[in-house]
Amino acid sequence: MAAAPGSKSTQMAAMMKTSGRLYLNDINRARLQPLNTNLQRCGVINQIVLNLPGERIGMLMPDFFDRILLDAPCTALGSMHQNKEIDLWWSMDKLERLCALQYRLLISAFKALKTGGLLVYSTCSITEEENERNIEQLIRQYPVQVESIIEIDKNGFEQGKSNICTEAIRVYPHKQQMEGFFVVKLRKISKKKYIIDRKKTEFIQTLSYADKELFPELEEISRVWGIPFSVWKNYRYVLTNKRIWLLCPDISDIPKTGLISSGLLLAEHKSNSWKLLNQSVQFLARYITKTIEPDDNLLKTLFAKSVAYISGVDNGYYALCRSGKPFASVNALKGRLKIRLQQAYTLPELKADQS
């Protein structure tokens, strides 16, 4: 519900192994930029990124989710030993406003959960107001119960500081020599009547490889990149005028409200053809047969200047290889190779030679 910049998001995506549906929401659109970058770089295809106030999700998508992680905005007092600037802005007024926001997010999460669903609530703060008291208030008003966190070895950690939250876990910087933290797992045990937002959530239908508007475009990509056409039947897609997004087969529709992106950006239409993005070259590496593997000197030049010259190569797109493994997209035109890489993208073997 507050997913950016994405370290927990990519970890959950890895745990899900590109299956299921992973909804990632954050109210701060600017913070979604690094989240999207991380997801694309990791080749995630089962995510749906939303830009919504977390407090509205329960009304827009009630009884919808099996699992929710609410890593709530907090005072971050658990990291004060590392971030001294916290002392400059912390106040009781700030604490009260954050507690109120946290509780609204908890209510929204409860409404968005299916009955029997699990909610993990966490903060990097050690105040009882942001943690145990919020949970106690939720339990008094809604049918939820605290569950044991059996996946975590509690040795060395503290229990929650109330009878209701004995199964919660607390981490203290001065005891565990790490960032202070609170985490509790809750289960929704029944529904409670509440008013649903009158504005219904609209959904975008994803496409099958066989849909008539997509089929010829995938045929073109297969021809240009030497990819067996049978590969495409394993996924779902979103098609726009100049882009194709590849998604896991579990995503048949996508909520339109607040949508930022979904799945892996597969290809962009450039110069009357489809160009695979670097991340999609890596994702489809085992299928691509149209490849080129220059020597180290040419690679060094290409990485340093984004352009290098090569002979004996026909015009068109290729997957650039290193030790037989495709990792990037290059365009050959009249003996010139051109590549577009993120600034931080380097090969370890070549890094020292690029300075």
Q: Which residues are catalytic?
A: 124
Does residue 289 contact residue 59 with C-beta atoms inside 8 Å?
no
Residue 238 has phi, psi (to 5 degrees) of -125, 130
Q: How many CA atoms are closer than 13 Å to the CA of 270, on its beta-carbon side?
A: 12
For residues 351 and 127, what is the distance between their CA atoms, to the nearest angstrom? 45
H/E stretch holding 189: none
Angle at 251 between CA 248 and CA 254, to 5 degrees: 130
The DSSP symbol for 41 reads H
Nearest CA-CA partner of 23 in 112, 101, 145, 110: 112
What residues have CB less than 8 Å from 314, skipping those under 6 apart? 332
For residues 258 and 252, what is the distance between their CA atoms, to the nearest angstrom? 18
For 241-308, the three-class secondary structure string (H helix, E strand, C coil) is CCEEEEECCCCCEEECCCEEEECEEEEEEECCEEEECHHHHHHCCCCCCCEECCCHHHHHHHHHHCEE
SS3 232: helix
Does residue 298 contact residue 308 with C-beta atoms inside 8 Å?
yes
User: Which structure tokens are listed for 157?
Assistant: 């950690």
Does residue 282 contact residue 265 with C-beta atoms inside 8 Å?
no
Q: How many CA atoms are closer than 13 Å to the CA of 354, on its beta-carbon side?
A: 19
Pick left, alpha or beta for residue 18 (phi over 0 → left; psi -120 to 50 → alpha; otherwise beta).
Answer: left
Does residue 279 contact residue 41 with C-beta atoms inside 8 Å?
yes
